[in-house]
Chains A and B, each alone.
Chain A
């Protein structure tokens, strides 16, 4: 028992586990809307775009959260508007806008090589380097996103299901999309230091798609995705401590294992259902 509690004596682990559980819930919730909008790639793309913003913020000596957050928000709005107003598809818009932004970051790094090391954490995450103030930022973003999802629940659901029809029914879809883009950018910024650019996409998509396999009801999918995100954050970090493996990668591997389990479970359930129906016939 004491072995299990051993990591909690370290402040870095306590901070890390708090951050991992909150980021799990945050990405789990946002991921549901991302997956259902058919924009699974946006997490991957926007995290790269934000990386570009982070580098620009560093060069310009701006506050990291403000600079990178604004950059990510603008990229999300630009993607949404490009898809809505032109014939460019979502995946193409995400590809062009976010890789251009990432390239800006890479270009600046190659120009000012002396700060390359500082961005390792942003690229690969450093959950065990999370400070108390990082936890406060993650908690703040999680609370804001929770409030948005709570008070705009019906509007977000309707816009995600069918934005055009939602507009006919009086939903201010542009406003809902803008708020969502803001929430997504904030969630990515909060998660970047913890999971890293390369792993955020997985944390956004895997809990949501696992939850989708388990239920046909939207509110249940949202709840399952949040719970899966929180559980995998906790279990992943715990395992990483005992296995001495990179924490961000462990969290994602735990999520991928759960997804594989859900896939096997639903396939078996479907086969059993068919067999039972045949027996009844």
Chain B
């Protein structure tokens, strides 16, 4: 099957400083993958190259649409990091979501009946229908994340790209969001996210790509999340616990051993108590 996204020996640097080196990455239709790695690993840079916002210094990126779609490029639904949003901008949820229809809209400034139908459907699907006229600042973190997801989905994308969707929200909200993304993926949506939340990734994502300037490893979390691979990715001491098919990843605290801070260091028992 032809990949939707194909990175072929992509290199990128800001000035002389290399940020990405020799990236080969394929994302196939219907795949749900996460880019994981420490801050400064190049995750957002890789996304920006995929989105066409940055040009590789070497290598190239190929984006392919499904046969018969009639488009030369796949339509991308992008959800940026919430930290980059101007929350004081005068914008209601409905106005924000309709921005996603800018390219499909006619020349008129007002929204069409079709726009309104899609808006209602996408908001109800994400359970934020009653918030349509609310200002985006007046939403909880999870609702804000869903509003931006709605903007991406209303464009009927071939590929959904989310930059750090689980950062800045509580554990339950992050879980709910990843669960929604998994649902979308089950219906055929190709999804790529970046995340720092390794434990959420192991629970919800079928494919992870460990990145630290170059791709260290990629595959299913149970294969990739091993201490040697994570140590190489995060350049630190990572602990990986496995029990009953669950994987729990923890960074070893600096200056202390695990035994110093945990009275009962047997991972299996800790997991059973939880």
Contacts and interface: CB of A to CB of B under 8 A. Distances in A.
B102 A218 contact: no
Interface string A162-177: 1011111111000000
B99 A217 contact: no
Residue in B86, B99, B137 with the greatest tally of chain A CB atoms within 10 Å: B99
Given A157-B99, A162-B80, A169-B102, A217 B86 contact: no
B85 to A, nearest CB: 7
A36 interface: yes
Contacts of B216: none
Given A154-B109, A169-B78, A162 B52 contact: no
A155 interface: yes
B231 to A, nearest CB: 34
Interface in A141-193: 150-151, 153-155, 157-158, 161-162, 164-171
Contacts, number: 67
A158 B90 contact: no
A158 B90 CA distance: 12
A243 to B, nearest CB: 34
Nearest to B51: A168
Contacts of A221: 90
Contacts of B91: 161, 216-218
- What does DSSP make chain A's interface, helix, strand, loop or mixed? helix
A212 interface: yes
A217 B80 contact: no
Given A162-B84, A167-B53, A153 B109 contact: yes
B56 interface: no
Interface string A15-37: 00000000000000000000010
B263 interface: no
Given A217-B92, A221-B90, A154 B102 contact: yes
Contacts of A165: 78, 80
B102 A161 contact: no
A155 B90 contact: no
A87 to B, nearest CB: 11
B269 to A, nearest CB: 45
A215 interface: yes
Interface string B52-72: 110000000000000000000
Residue in B78, B95, B98, B109 with the greatest tally of chain A CB atoms within 10 Å: B109
B42 interface: no
B145 to A, nearest CB: 15
For chain B, which range describes its interface: under 10, 10 to 19, 20 to 34, or 35 or more residues? 20 to 34
Interface string A212-231: 10011111110000000000
B205 interface: no
A102 to B, nearest CB: 30
Contacts of A154: 98-99, 102, 105, 109
Contacts of B257: none
Contacts of A217: 90-92, 95
B86 A162 contact: yes
B217 interface: no
A167 B84 CA distance: 15
A146 to B, nearest CB: 11
A216 B109 contact: no
Contact of A216 (B53, B78, B92, B99): B92
B90 A169 contact: no
Contact of B102 (A151, A164, A170, A212): A170
A169 B103 contact: yes
Given A151-B107, A154-B109, A162-B80, A168 B53 contact: yes
Contacts of B103: 169-171
A158 B89 CA distance: 11
A169 B86 contact: no
Given A158-B102, A168-B76, A168-B78, A216 B51 contact: no
7 contacts: A154-B99, A162-B86, A169-B76, A171-B102, A212-B90, A217-B92, A221-B90
Interface of B: 51-53, 76, 78, 80, 84-86, 89-92, 95, 98-100, 102-103, 105, 107, 109, 135, 137, 155
Given A154-B102, A162-B86, A167-B53, 15 more contacts: A151-B107, A154-B98, A158-B102, A161-B86, A165-B80, A168-B51, A168-B52, A168-B76, A168-B78, A169-B76, A169-B102, A216-B92, A218-B90, A218-B95, A219-B109
